[in-house]
């Protein structure tokens, strides 16, 4: 370091004795280069310390502190681009949205915004509905960056919203995992493409739907119902953006029908969105339609309006009685407004009408175990019905044992546990619960033997883990 400083002084003295400006310029450049090469930071010490404090605060999610420290630095060094971006992020975290956005826009204009910053800025444009700027900003995200994956996903969403199907397909790139999406998009572009595409079993439902679109292309009502089925198929496959687009296509085909509006409203509500505007439109068009009223009940339940939901669910129940889905929704609405007995009656009525009665009975039993006041009148009959099902499992026998134990009938509870141990030798849930009960009632050695069996076995991992945890806590 002493040699370096001596050399700098000599160069400076020589520059001062010269009448030309070049040596001075050469001196300044030399100083900068030598300082950089020597490992000496060009930033003042207070800046380094302040940045360290700001970075630490940011990492610890103390965004107000981070923002304050970054701003102190920027007052004297406004062109520190990395600090500008950190200040922008901190501003956004503490709710200074306009300021954060302005900083990001300035950095983008200067060409100094990182891939993460570009993604953030594009997302803000997208949330504002400024799709033109969002698209151009997403396209600026470097393709080699990790952020490009998210950029492409959002490009896809925007193009689907704009019904630019070809661009949406292009945004998927060559990723083979996107093949289902591409074939689904072809339904919107030209169903014939889907009919002539891959014969893989995964895509067969889409091909059949494409055939329906082609066969009935002059029948708007049929096309509308086909697009509803497409929406349902895409929703079950997790393709929510395309599912919503399919329901909107159904509305275009039959705008005066309440059904496509109802399906769109129910779909939006299932995603945690509002859906009320769409369901109100469907009610205005077809106020006496069963599906419209049933879906209206569901939408209002999702939006925490059980009293309103009850109106439409009762109407749906009057239009078509004994529908399992309506009864379950009725039960849920009644539960939420405190009409527990009526809710349990509808719940029990729904079970034998359901496609999976055993699961409905299980849910009912579990509810009454959590609310024992209803256990004898509703939980006990439900568990008896459950055990009459062909698919009664070890868990169901264990559930029955728990019901009888709460009802203070330990002998019957023990009988169900022991029966389960014989009928389901690969399940050790009954071993564990019977063992715990025996220990608690004083039969320590026998109970511990069952718990140890549950802990040592290799076929029922979850129960084994519970048993080992129980033993370690003793």
Digit-coded pLDDT (tens) for 126-151: 999 999 999 999 999 998 899 999 99
C-alpha distance from residue 47 to each of 42, 44, 58, 89, 113 (Å): 10, 5, 16, 19, 21
**Buried/exposed code over 143-156 (b: 16+ C-beta within 10 A; e: otherwise):** eeeebbebbbebbb
CA 361 to mean position of chain CA atoms: 29
Residue 23 has what pLDDT?
Answer: 54
Digit-coded pLDDT (tens) for 307-353: 999 999 999 999 999 999 999 999 999 999 999 999 999 999 999 99
**Interatomic CA distance for residues 154 and 461, integer angstroms:** 40
CB atoms within 10 A of CB 474: 7
Going by pLDDT thresholds of 50, 70 and 90, the confidence category of residue 1 is very low
- Range with lowest mean pLDDT among 59-73, 105-119, 330-344, 434-448: 59-73
Residue 33 has what pLDDT?
Answer: 46
Percentage of residues in the chain having pLDDT higher than 90: 66
**Interatomic CA distance for residues 426 and 464, integer angstroms:** 12
Q: What are the structure tokens assigned to 315, written together?
A: 């109407």
The values of phi and psi at residue 301, to 5°, are: -65, -45
Q: Using an 8 Å Cβ cutoff, are 207 and 195 in contact?
A: yes
**Interatomic CA distance for residues 421 and 418, integer angstroms:** 5
- Range with lowest mean pLDDT among 190-204, 239-253, 373-387, 421-435: 190-204
Going by pLDDT thresholds of 50, 70 and 90, the confidence category of residue 43 is low
Which range has highest mean pLDDT (48-52, 171-175, 465-469)? 465-469
- Three-state secondary structure call for residue 269: helix
**Buried/exposed code over 433-464 (b: 16+ C-beta within 10 A; e: otherwise):** bbbbbbbeeeeeeebbebbebbbebeebeebb
Q: Using an 8 Å Cβ cutoff, are 210 and 191 in contact?
A: yes
**Between the CA atoms of 288, 292, 297 and 302, what dihedral angle is there, to the nearest 10 degrees?**
-160
Going by pLDDT thresholds of 50, 70 and 90, the confidence category of residue 243 is very high
**Interatomic CA distance for residues 39 and 36, integer angstroms:** 6
Digit-coded pLDDT (tens) for 255-284: 999 999 999 999 999 999 999 999 999 999
Q: What stretch of H or E contains 456?
A: helix 444-456
Going by pLDDT thresholds of 50, 70 and 90, the confidence category of residue 42 is low
* 372 secondary structure, DSSP code: G
Going by pLDDT thresholds of 50, 70 and 90, the confidence category of residue 372 is very high
For 83-115, the DSSP string reads HHHHHHHHHHHTT-HHHHHHHHHHHHHTT---H
Residue 38 has what pLDDT?
Answer: 42
**Interatomic CA distance for residues 316 and 330, integer angstroms:** 10
Q: What stretch of H or E contains 324?
A: helix 324-336
Classify residue 171 by burial, with Cβ atoms within 10 Å: 0-12, 13-18, 19+.
Answer: buried
* 379 secondary structure, DSSP code: I
Percentage of residues in the chain having pLDDT higher than 70: 90
Q: What are the structure tokens assigned to 169, written together?
A: 């397909």
- Range with lowest mean pLDDT among 19-23, 111-115, 393-397: 19-23
DSSP E strands, 296-448: none
Q: What is the mean pLDDT of the chain?
A: 88
**Interatomic CA distance for residues 406 and 369, integer angstroms:** 8
Q: Which residue has the tokens 């950190």?
A: 86
**Interatomic CA distance for residues 180 and 242, integer angstroms:** 11
Q: What are the structure tokens assigned to 81, written together?
A: 């681009």
Q: Using an 8 Å Cβ cutoff, are 141 and 118 in contact?
A: yes
Residue 405 has what pLDDT?
Answer: 93
Using left for φ > 0, alpha for ψ between -120 and 50, and beta otherwise, residue 209 falls in alpha
pTM of the model: 0.78
Going by pLDDT thresholds of 50, 70 and 90, the confidence category of residue 12 is very low
At residue 80, does pLDDT exceed 90?
Answer: no
- Rg of the chain over Cα atoms, rounded to whole angstroms, equals 34
At residue 2, does pLDDT exceed 60?
Answer: no
Going by pLDDT thresholds of 50, 70 and 90, the confidence category of residue 39 is very low
Q: Using an 8 Å Cβ cutoff, are 329 and 360 in contact?
A: no
Residue 67 has what pLDDT?
Answer: 86
């Amino acid at each position: 370091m002493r040699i370096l400083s001596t050399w700098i002084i000599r160069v400076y003295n020589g520059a001062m004795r010269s009448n030309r400006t070049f040596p001075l310029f050469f001196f300044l450049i030399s100083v900068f280069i030598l300082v950089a090469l020597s490992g000496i930071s060009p930033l003042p010490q207070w800046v380094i310390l302040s940045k360290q404090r700001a970075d630490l605060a940011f990492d610890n999610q103390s965004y107000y502190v981070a923002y304050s420290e970054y701003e102190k630095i920027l007052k004297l060094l406004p062109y520190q681009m990395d600090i500008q971006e950190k200040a922008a992020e901190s501003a956004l975290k503490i709710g200074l949205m306009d300021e954060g956005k302005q900083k990001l826009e300035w950095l983008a204009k200067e060409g100094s915004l990182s891939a993460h910053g570009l993604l953030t800025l594009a997302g803000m444009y997208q949330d504002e509905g400024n799709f033109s700027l969002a698209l151009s900003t997403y396209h600026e995200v470097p393709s080699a960056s990790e952020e490009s994956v998210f950029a492409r996903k959002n490009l896809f969403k925007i193009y689907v919203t704009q019904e630019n199907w070809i661009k949406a397909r292009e945004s998927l790139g060559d990723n083979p995992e996107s093949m289902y999406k591409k074939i689904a998009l072809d339904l919107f572009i030209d169903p014939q493409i889907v009919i002539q595409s891959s014969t893989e079993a995964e895509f067969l439902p889409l091909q059949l739907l494409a055939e329906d679109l082609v066969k009935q292309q002059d029948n708007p009502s049929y096309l509308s119902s086909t697009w509803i089925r497409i929406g349902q198929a895409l929703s079950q496959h997790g393709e929510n953006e395309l599912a919503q687009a399919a329901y909107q296509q159904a509305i275009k085909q039959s705008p005066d029908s309440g059904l496509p509006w109802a399906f769109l409203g129910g779909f939006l509500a299932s995603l945690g969105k509002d859906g009320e505007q769409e369901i109100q439109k469907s009610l205005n068009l077809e106020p006496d339609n069963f599906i419209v009223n049933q879906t209206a009940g569901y939408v209002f339940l999702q939006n925490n309006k059980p009293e309103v939901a009850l109106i439409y669910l009762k109407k749906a129940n009057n239009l078509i009685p004994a529908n399992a889905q309506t009864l379950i929704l009725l039960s849920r609405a009644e539960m939420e407004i405190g009409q527990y007995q009526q809710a349990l009656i509808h719940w029990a009525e729904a079970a034998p009408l359901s496609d999976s009665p055993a699961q409905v009975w299980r849910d009912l039993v579990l509810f009454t175990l959590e609310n024992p006041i209803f256990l004898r009148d509703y939980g006990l009959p439900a568990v008896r019905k459950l055990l009459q099902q062909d698919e009664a499992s070890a868990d169901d026998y264990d559930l029955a044992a728990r019901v009888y134990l709460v009802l203070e009938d330990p002998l019957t509870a023990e009988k169900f546990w022991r029966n389960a141990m014989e009928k389901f030798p690969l399940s050790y849930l009954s071993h564990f619960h019977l063992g715990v009960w025996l220990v608690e009632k004083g039969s320590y050695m026998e109970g511990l033997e069952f718990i140890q069996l549950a802990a040592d076995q290799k076929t029922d991992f979850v129960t084994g883990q519970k048993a080992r945890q129980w033993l370690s806590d003793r």
